[in-house]
Structure 1
Amino acid sequence: MRTKNNLLPKDLSTSRLAKNIPAEREVSAGGVVFRRSKFGIEIAFMKDSYDKWTFPKGHVEKGEALEEAAARETLEEIGLEEIRFLEELGKISIWFRDRYEQKGKLIHKDIYYFLFETAPDAVLLPDPSQHTYDAKWVPIKKVLQTSSYSDLAPIIKKALGYLAIR
């Protein structure tokens, strides 16, 4: 029932079966960060603990707004000094087996993403203690193909749409 990355098959998340599997519910928030460098618009990606390219995200702390959590996690995970909120991008829901805090526990997580801008010369400094093992700036034309997770496509498309009209 699990894939090699300990993720559940995509169709399970929408099936009736998923509703009958005991799972821990979690809420996370993350950031899609871009910069306007001399090379054009670039978007920050990080390599996660599954060795996949994605966006920074993490748990929402008690009393913390989603946007605040997204900014905090983004700054912590990819080492940026400053970001500016621009737009809410939407929510995705994922199912997976935890590898750290509750090893093996099935997790159903809602992740809310936000668009942020940073300085043109911003440097990415991944933090392995935050489960960020690499980070890079990706030209806007290569963003969809860089993302390792297909469920991020609607989030990416909304970010690209926002950037196209500005």
Structure 2
Amino acid sequence: MSGRGRAREERSAGGVVVRRVDGEMHVLLIRDPYQNWGLPKGHVERGEGDLDAALREVREETGLEDLTVGPVVGTIDWYFRQGRRLVHKTCAFYLMRSSTGVPVPELDEGITECLWLPLDEAVAQVTYDNARDMVMAAAELLRSGTVEAE
């Protein structure tokens, strides 16, 4: 047995933030202190739902306030060690739109850069495969017409 059954469970939530620029869909990526590119996300606080946590974290990490929330894009999970303790983290991502806001990286949150990239470039730029999967899932939702692009 791997010992994963003894892992402490943690929840996070975040957003795949999109905007249309000159007719092309762009995705907002953030750079963390380790120089990894990913999506804004963070811990769900006690008494807080995933959606509220996702909005709070995106606002905290990017400074964006003009967010419109769409459906859940998907959920990812991973295991990591925190000291001697194994942690199983689950993170729900919501599709979000920001039409006019200018992102400002929140240095106090460890965010060193925010960058709007065309969808295909964002897919290539994301450091982690599971975050890349969320960007691609959001793109599929938009392309399929399941949700409106604007």
TM-score by length of 1: 0.79
* 2:116 is aligned with 1:132: no
Gaps of 5+ in 1: 1-15
Runs of 4+ in structure 1 deviating by more than 4 angstroms, as ranges, are: none
Partner of 1:41: 25
* 2:74 is aligned with 1:74: no
Greater strand content: 2
1:8-59 superposed Cα distances (whole Å, 9 cap, x missing partner) = xxxxxxxx41425x53321000101011123621100001133200001011
Distance 2:84 2:4 in 1: 18
Distance 2:35 2:23 in 1: 26
Q: 1:86 aligns with which of 70, 77, 80?
A: 70
Are the counterparts in 1 of residues 4 and 86 from structure 2 also a CA contact under 8 Å? no
Q: 2:87 aligns with which of 107, 121, 130?
A: 107
* 2:8 is aligned with 1:24: yes
What's the Cα RMSD here?
Answer: 1.8
Are the counterparts in 1 of residues 39 and 131 from structure 2 also a CA contact under 8 Å? no
Distance 1:18 1:159 in 2: 33
SS class of match (2:2): helix
Alignment coverage as a number of residue pairs:
145
Gaps of 5+ in 2: none
Percent identity for Structure 1 against Structure 2: 31
Q: Structure 1 residues 60-69 or 108-117, which shifts more?
A: 60-69
Partner of 2:98: 118
1:134-161 superposed Cα distances (whole Å, 9 cap, x missing partner) = 1100101212111100122332221001
TM-score by length of 2: 0.87
Distance 1:104 1:18 in 2: 12
SS class of match (1:27): strand
SS class of match (1:159): helix
The residue identity in structure 2 corresponding to 1:106 is L
Are the counterparts in 1 of residues 7 and 86 from structure 2 also a CA contact under 8 Å? yes
Partner of 1:62: 46
Distance 2:121 2:95 in 1: 17
* 2:138 is aligned with 1:159: yes
